């Protein structure tokens, strides 16, 4: 069995995809397979991939279905003991896989992530204190803010079978939805080294294109309540966080004259609560 399967979803990022792929193929740990899933690109993505001559690289193509479907397709086609994700606009330090795999093997964690360097519009920036990556059990903090970065994460095949796949119904926060499910069942390890470079500031980022990300965070919490058998304390904290998120979202809707949307989300949440 291959040790680790690396999955890169991509859509119209030919200008940066080569950097991401090269950062994987140049890893000091060589026992891996790499799946690049082209999510219906209309640019030179195919040409970029054709420049790499490495038997560990497999290119896949699907019609444009979104990043969740692309990741799910790549993971389904792979067979590694571990799965590592990388966004096509990010890249890794050369020893990222080696250090993370050794950490996983020695620690016994089913999932872990590395620290990361943030680059915004070509300039290095420092993450705010609230973005500091925790370790261990941190579901409660995750309800306020997504604290797992896809390009930093590695998890076991067994964890994926237990808690996957990514929710293809969500156009954004699809990773947040999975990380909430993970946080309810597993502690998350942390390799305390910046082995991932996360870039931002470009116009095609989901966080810039998708308006109302809070709505999808609400959906993720609702799915968590519906799909997981949460313990008493976990359920109480999730319900409390959901109520607060809905309150703030509805407040924003009313402020912008979207009263019907505020009513819809409030009623949906009340229906979920009654059904639990």
Does the pLDDT at position 202 exceed 70?
Answer: no
For the stretch 151-175, pLDDT in tens is 999 999 999 999 999 999 998 888 9
For the stretch 203-233, pLDDT in tens is 555 544 445 789 999 999 999 999 999 989 9
CB 228 within 8 A of CB 151: no
For the stretch 28-76, pLDDT in tens is 999 999 999 999 999 999 999 999 999 999 999 999 999 999 999 999 9
Q: How far apart are CA 110 and CA 112, in angstroms?
A: 7
Average confidence (pLDDT) over 130-157: 94
Does the pLDDT at position 260 exceed 70?
Answer: yes
What pLDDT shows up at residue 201?
67
**Other beta carbons less than 10 A from residue 67's beta carbon:** 23
State whether the Cα torsion 245-247-250-252 is positive or negative.
negative
- Three-state DSSP at 200 gives strand
Q: Provide φ and ψ at 85, rounded to 5°.
A: -105, 150
- What's the alpha-carbon Rg for the chain, to the nearest Å? 19
pTM, two decimals, is 0.93
């Amino acid at each position: 069995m291959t040790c680790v399967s690396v999955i890169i979803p991509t859509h119209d990022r030919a200008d940066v995809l080569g950097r991401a792929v090269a950062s994987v193929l140049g890893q000091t740990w060589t026992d891996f397979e790499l799946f690049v899933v082209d999510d219906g690109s209309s640019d030179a993505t195919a040409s970029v991939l054709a420049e790499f001559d490495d038997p560990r690289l497999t290119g896949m193509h699907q019609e444009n279905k979104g990043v969740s479907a692309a990741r799910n397709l790549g993971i389904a086609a792979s067979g590694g003991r571990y799965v590592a994700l990388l966004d096509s606009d990010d890249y890794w330090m050369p020893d990222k896989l080696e250090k993370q795999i050794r950490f996983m093997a020695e620690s016994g964690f089913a999932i872990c992530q590395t620290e990361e360097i943030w680059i915004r519009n070509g300039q290095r920036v420092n993450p705010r204190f609230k973005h500091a990556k925790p370790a261990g059990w941190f579901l409660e903090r995750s309800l306020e803010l997504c604290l797992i970065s896809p390009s930093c994460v590695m998890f076991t095949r067994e964890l994926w079978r237990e808690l996957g796949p990514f929710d293809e119904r969500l156009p954004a926060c699809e990773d947040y939805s999975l990380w909430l499910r993970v946080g309810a069942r597993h502690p998350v390890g942390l390799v305390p080294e910046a082995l991932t470079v996360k870039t931002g500031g470009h116009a095609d980022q989901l966080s810039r294109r998708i308006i109302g990300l809070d709505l999808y965070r609400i959906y993720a919490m609702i799915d968590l309540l519906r799909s997981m058998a949460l313990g008493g304390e976990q359920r109480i904290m999730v319900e409390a966080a959901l109520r607060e998120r809905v309150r703030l979202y509805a407040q924003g809707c009313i402020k912008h004259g979207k009263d019907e949307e505020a009513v819809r989300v409030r009623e949906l949440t009340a229906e979920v609560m009654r059904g639990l």
